[in-house]
Amino acid sequence: MAITFLFCLFLARFFYIQVIWQDDLNARALDQWTREIPISAGRGNIYDTNGELLAGNTAAYSIFARANAVTDAEGGSLLLSEALGLSYDDILGKLTDKSHSEIVVAKRVDKSVVQRIEGAEIAGVYYARDDVRFYPYRQLACQVLGFTSYDGSGSTGLEQYYNNFLAGERGEILFETDLVGVDLDGAAAAYIPATDGMSLTLTLDYRIQSVSEQVMEAALKEYNAKAARAIVLDVTDFSVLSMVNLPSYDLNDIPRDDLSALNRLSRNALVSDVYEPGSTFKIVTAAADIEEYLQGNAAAYAPNRIFSSARTRTVDGTTIRCWSDHANGKHSNQTLAEALNNSCNPCFVDIALSLGKETFYDYLAAFQFGRATGLDFSGEAIGMLLPESTLRDCDFARIGFGQTIAVTPLQLACASAAAVNGGRYYAPRLVKEIVDSDGAVIEQTSPVLLSQPIGEEASEMLTSMLEGVVRDGSGKKAYIEGYRVAGKTGTAQKYEDGRIAQGKYVSSFVGCFPASDPRYLALVIVDEPQGAYYGSTVAAPCAKQIFEGIIDIFDLPPVEE
Amino acid sequence: MTKRRKSEASKGDLIFLAAILVLAAYGVICVWSASYYNAELQYGDSMYFFRKQLIGFLLGTAGMIGISFLPYEKLRRIRIPSLILSLILLALVFVPGLGKSNYGATRWIGFGSFTIQPSEIAKLGFVIFTAGYFAKDPARMRTLKGCIPVLGAGLAICVLIMLEPNMSVTMCVGAIMIGMLFLAGISKKAIAVICIPVLFAVPVLILAEPYRLQRLSAFMDPWASPKDEGYQLIQSLYGLSNGGFFGVGLFNSRQKYRFLPFAESDFILSVIAEETGFFGVTALFLLIGFIVWRGFRIAARSGNIYGFLLAGGITLAFAVQSVLNALVVSGCIPPTGLPLPLVSAGNTSLIVTMTGMGIVYGVSRHTQP
């Protein structure tokens, strides 16, 4: 009896371990039975909107040795040292170093070299794919694309933001070994294939990107500027068509030795840095005013209402001056359209103060200022917006014409796009499609409407006023016969340590075309131009050239005679 | 007890004999499978342990058959010499030059490449002594005083083995001693008087040697120290789990590739479980259980107190060792060095166990059917 009972107890215990506990224990045991050589997954490609390759891979290989499996160390070393151009003694050392289960002999070896060695079939030497990232257009959109670290994972830009999609899953070659890593006779190596990464198709058009880079490069040189930037949006759905940050660098030859330079050069300042927008921001103020006027708000300035012609406004005891001296009849008896043409600061002070903080800040919120636009990109700045509750009137008055507020170029471009496209603010995006290695579409992005700060009518009125700015006002240098360009210039003084930095300006222009039904919007920023500094002289011509480039690329017909 | 006995031997329990031979022969194959990789690495000869075990099997078979021809009653005469021989051999372990140390314990005496493990002999010696002692005057069994020589002999053997040190064999001898007293039918009161001090001694002995405490805690949670104390148990469990229902096939153990220490000796059951699976283990247990059952049946049918105690004691020793080994391998008690009798590599154990089984078979031969 007792014996039978004991017997059953034993069997139960063995049954528990061998059958019930089995999976868990086996999973742990598998780890100690095998040694693995990693197979890196092919990283996904990045294409522009037309399918043009922007980031791909060049096939390369890592060479491993497993000393415990090497049979002819001298012969193998001789062959490898000749093929790889490495020291014979070093390689012999690695091929005989039995303290490691496997050791890397060389990384990123060319395919042709590996093919040569592979033919020789050296026992104990293995090859695993170890691709090198390659960017066919070198510096093109370098801050947007970003680069990968030495181990192949994304460090910056889209390479980083979409790393989980691009990276894929590495595979392994598993060797069955004993406790210390000696290969077992007759045990086949198990091959677990890698899963290649997914590919991205961007909204970016490499032709527009290329044209804008050329244009901005010329401006950077002509004005000996510190930086030149541009962003081109499709205003109908907020697809980013181009993002230019100059100076740039070659993605195939990354200056990894100079980290601070690399940080500066690889930064997508359009997204990550803020600046004082100056007069380009008057678009937002004007949009708020027109919408409020249409809504029947008596505090709003009607389009035909005449502003005071005085050069100054006094708010909270501080005096705000127009950049123009208002002498000889300049800036007198202006309507809103004329105030935009002349970029007359006092008029926009009047609008802001008349609408009041509460109303005005509602518009700022609707235009997404003070928050991220939601672009699929890391490190987006939200800008600096003084809190409404503690805002002084003198500061508030200046916000009306784009001072005492800091925004990212992306925020300004998007707000302007929403102001001219009928009042729809979408989340901007860089990637339109993600496709896996088998060609199956994993994700297709579509426009996401974030807000509708103004209505269709207000948008149309504003756009036609902005068209006037290009036709008759400060934006003349962006004028293209027949294509109805609309826009607004901006010239902001730079601050350093809280004081105005003498002679340092940010010249900008934001414009779109055709005004009848806006499609393309460009924001151009030239940072610290030398010689000229007005947005009208420095930035507006750049926008014109970019627009001309777009007209060429798509062979767009003029919209009017 | 006064039954009439035939003077000449009968065929005896041939099925019992066959079962022993099958188990021991299976053991030789298992030792080969479990050891060939290590043997090749250590000795440059993958058959090293196999050959040794085969010799042990042949010698054991000879001893088993040989002793079965001897009327077992004759063993009564050598009860005192067998105890003394056991004690002397155990003591020789401590003689410098003769004692052989391994893994921090001195458990063997050796002459050149030939080594024997006295504790294995002592187990049989103790059974022969006890059976003979009680059979001489069965009245001794009923008083505690009468049991004192048996207790003394057992204690002496235990102390010597403990000094080696070899805790598990000590416990094994203690269990055999109590089991034999039980078989002899001493009073429950006497058993209690003996058992209680033993129960107290266990924690003291565990605390006396720090390594035992470590092993105990490793047993509670082997994954707390997977590289040190917990290692052996984890590796044994991996072997068991890898076997699953039907095993990975004879000679296909993965754990014997230096992962599982003592794969061919104390942990051979783990290799068997890995190669033959739960079904193989069940079959093995059935065979062992069958041997134990047959052994006790022989004892019960011997018709005299001496034959009963002798066959019963030897069977008991076999059963106790098998149980303890299976408990260790399956992680039910902390790992200790104890072979699976008749199966594990180790010639002293194999030859002595087989010889012992020969005595049991002899009892069946000299029993009136």
Assign B2 a pLDDT band (cuts: 50, 70, 90).
Answer: very low
Q: Which of A1-10, A245-254, A499-508, B27-36 has the lowest mean pLDDT?
A: A1-10
Tell me, what's the pLDDT at A126?
80
Query: How many angstroms separate the CA of residue A178 from the nearest CA in chain B?
Result: 5
Candidates A3, A28, A184; nearest CB to B257 = A184
User: Does A11 sit within 8 Å of B241, measured CB to CB?
Assistant: no
A21 interfaces chain B, CB cutoff of 8 Å: yes
Residue A519 lies in a domain: yes
A178 interfaces chain B, CB cutoff of 8 Å: yes
A25 interfaces chain B, CB cutoff of 8 Å: yes
Choose between A69 and A109: higher pLDDT: A109
Number of separate domains in chain A: 2
A224 interfaces chain B, CB cutoff of 8 Å: no
User: Does A17 sit within 8 Å of B237, measured CB to CB?
Assistant: yes
Residue A46 lies in a domain: no
Chain A's closest residue to B258, CA to CA, is A179
Look over chain B and give the mean of its residue pLDDT values, rounded to a whole number.
84
**Stated pTM of the model:** 0.68
Range of the domain at A461: 206-554
Residues from chain B contacting residue A32 (CB–CB below 8 Å) = 238, 259
Who's near A375: CB < 8 A, 6+ residues apart? A240, A271, A410, A427, A428, A429, A430
* Mean pLDDT score, B350-356: 93
Q: Specify whether A350 is located in the same domain as A474.
A: yes
A495 interfaces chain B, CB cutoff of 8 Å: no
Concerning whether A324 is annotated as a catalytic residue, the answer is: no
Q: Specify whether A114 is located in the same domain as A227.
A: no
Candidates B278, B289, B332; nearest CB to A3 = B289
CATH of the domain at A176: 3.90.1310.10
Q: Which of residues 181-210 of A touch B (CB under 8 A)?
A: 184
Chain B's closest residue to A16, CA to CA, is B241
Residues from chain B contacting residue A17 (CB–CB below 8 Å) = 237, 240-241, 330-331
A33 interfaces chain B, CB cutoff of 8 Å: yes
User: CA-CA distance, B120 to B106, in Å (whole number)?
Assistant: 14
Q: Specify whether A518 is located in the same domain as A412.
A: yes
Q: Which of A283-297, A399-413, A465-479, B104-118 has the lowest mean pLDDT?
A: B104-118
User: Does B254 sit within 8 Å of A33, measured CB to CB?
Assistant: yes
Query: Which of A13-27, A315-329, A357-371 tops mean pLDDT?
Result: A357-371
User: Does A184 sit within 8 Å of B237, measured CB to CB?
Assistant: no
Residues from chain A contacting residue B237 (CB–CB below 8 Å) = 17, 21, 25
Q: Specify whether A418 is located in the same domain as A534.
A: yes
A11 interfaces chain B, CB cutoff of 8 Å: yes
Q: Specify whether A270 is located in the same domain as A148.
A: no
Q: Specify whether A268 is located in the same domain as A327.
A: yes
- Which contacts of B89-94 are long-range, i.e. CB under 8 A and separated by 24 or more positions? B89/B116, B89/B118, B89/B121, B89/B122, B90/B118, B90/B119, B90/B122, B90/B157, B90/B160, B90/B161, B91/B160, B92/B118, B93/B118, B93/B160, B93/B164, B94/B163
Tell me, what's the pLDDT at B103?
67
User: Does B326 sit within 8 Å of A18, measured CB to CB?
Assistant: no
Q: Which of A19-23, A232-236, A477-481, B211-215 has the lowest mean pLDDT?
A: B211-215
Q: pLDDT tens-digit profile of A164-214?
A: 999 888 888 777 777 766 667 666 667 788 888 999 999 999 999 999 999
Tell me, what's the pLDDT at A187?
61
Query: How many angstroms separate the CA of residue A97 from the nearest CA in chain B?
Result: 19
Tell me, what's the pLDDT at B6?
45
User: Does B259 sit within 8 Å of A33, measured CB to CB?
Assistant: yes
A180 interfaces chain B, CB cutoff of 8 Å: yes
Query: How many angstroms separate the CA of residue B232 from the nearest CA in chain A?
Result: 13
Q: pLDDT tens-digit profile of A222-251?
A: 999 999 999 999 999 999 999 999 999 999
Who's near A73: CB < 8 A, 6+ residues apart? A67, A92, A95, A96
Residue A345 lies in a domain: yes
Tell me, what's the pLDDT at A105?
83
Query: How many angstroms separate the CA of residue A35 from the nearest CA in chain B?
Result: 14
Residues from chain A contacting residue B319 (CB–CB below 8 Å) = 3
End-to-end CA distance of chain A: 110
Query: How many angstroms separate the CA of residue B279 from the nearest CA in chain A?
Result: 9
Choose between B101 and B325: higher pLDDT: B325
Residue A413 lies in a domain: yes
Residue A15 lies in a domain: no
Domain boundary at A202, A235, A270, which? A202
Q: pLDDT tens-digit profile of A261-317?
A: 999 999 999 999 999 999 999 999 999 999 999 999 989 999 999 998 888 898 888
User: Does A25 sit within 8 Å of B330, measured CB to CB?
Assistant: no
Tell me, what's the pLDDT at B1?
38
Which of A3, A11, A17, A33 is the best residue to mutate to test the B interface, defined by the most B CB atoms within 10 Å of its own CB?
Answer: A17
Who's near A466: CB < 8 A, 6+ residues apart? A283, A340, A420, A475, A486, A487, A488, A511, A512, A515
Who's near B10: CB < 8 A, 6+ residues apart? B365, B366, B367, B369
Tell me, what's the pLDDT at B5?
46
Q: pLDDT tens-digit profile of B22-53?
A: 999 999 999 999 888 888 888 888 889 999 99
Assign B218 a pLDDT band (cuts: 50, 70, 90).
Answer: low
Residue A236 lies in a domain: yes
Chain A's closest residue to B285, CA to CA, is A7
Neighbours of A473 (CB within 10 A): 22
Strand-pairing partners, residue A521, are A233, A512
Please count the residue pairs, one from chain A and one from chain B, whose beta carbons lie less than 8 angstroms apart: 77
Choose between A441 and B40: higher pLDDT: A441
Percentage of residues of chain B with pLDDT beyond 70: 93
Domain boundary at A172, A202, A232, which? A202
Tell me, what's the pLDDT at B7?
46
Tell me, what's the pLDDT at A522?
96
Percentage of residues of chain A with pLDDT beyond 90: 55
A29 interfaces chain B, CB cutoff of 8 Å: yes
Of residues A210, A279, A459, A508, which has the active-site annotation?
A279
> Is the predicted pLDDT of residue A350 greater than 90, yes or no?
yes
Q: Is A129 helix (H, G, I), strand (E, B) or coil?
A: strand
Domain boundary at A168, A202, A236, which? A202
ipTM for the whole complex? 0.79
Q: Specify whether A311 is located in the same domain as A371.
A: yes
Tell me, what's the pLDDT at B9?
60
Assign B245 a pLDDT band (cuts: 50, 70, 90).
Answer: confident
Query: How many angstroms separate the CA of residue A1 from the nearest CA in chain B?
Result: 11
Q: Is A359 helix (H, G, I), strand (E, B) or coil?
A: helix
* Mean pLDDT score, A34-49: 85
> Is the predicted pLDDT of residue B139 greater than 50, yes or no?
yes
User: Does A10 sit within 8 Å of B326, measured CB to CB?
Assistant: yes
Q: Which of A321-330, A405-414, B23-32, B312-321 has the lowest mean pLDDT?
A: A321-330
User: Does B323 sit within 8 Å of A14, measured CB to CB?
Assistant: no
Query: How many angstroms separate the CA of residue A38 from the nearest CA in chain B?
Result: 23
User: Does B254 sit within 8 Å of A11, measured CB to CB?
Assistant: no
Distances (CA, A) of B148 to A476, B78, B121, B145, B159: 122, 19, 22, 5, 16
A30 interfaces chain B, CB cutoff of 8 Å: no
A8 interfaces chain B, CB cutoff of 8 Å: no
User: Does A7 sit within 8 Å of B257, measured CB to CB?
Assistant: no
* Mean pLDDT score, A29-58: 86
Residue A193 lies in a domain: yes
Query: How many angstroms separate the CA of residue B48 from the nearest CA in chain A?
Result: 19
User: Does B237 sit within 8 Å of A13, measured CB to CB?
Assistant: no
* Mean pLDDT score, B322-342: 85
Size of chain A in residues: 561
CATH of the domain at A234: 3.40.710.10
> Is the predicted pLDDT of residue B138 greater than 70, yes or no?
yes
User: Does A22 sit within 8 Å of B281, measured CB to CB?
Assistant: no
Q: Specify whether A229 is located in the same domain as A195.
A: no
Q: Tokens 């109590």: give the residue.
A: B178
| Token representation of residue A290 | 């027109």
Q: Specify whether A111 is located in the same domain as A241.
A: no
User: Does A178 sit within 8 Å of B242, measured CB to CB?
Assistant: no
* Mean pLDDT score, B285-301: 93
Assign A540 a pLDDT band (cuts: 50, 70, 90).
Answer: very high
Dihedral sign computed on CA atoms, order A367, A369, A371, A377: positive
Q: Specify whether A515 is located in the same domain as A467.
A: yes
Q: Specify whether A99 is located in the same domain as A211.
A: no
Look over chain A and give the mean of its residue pLDDT values, rounded to a whole number.
89
Tell me, what's the pLDDT at A469?
93
Q: Specify whether A319 is located in the same domain as A170.
A: no
Residue A450 lies in a domain: yes
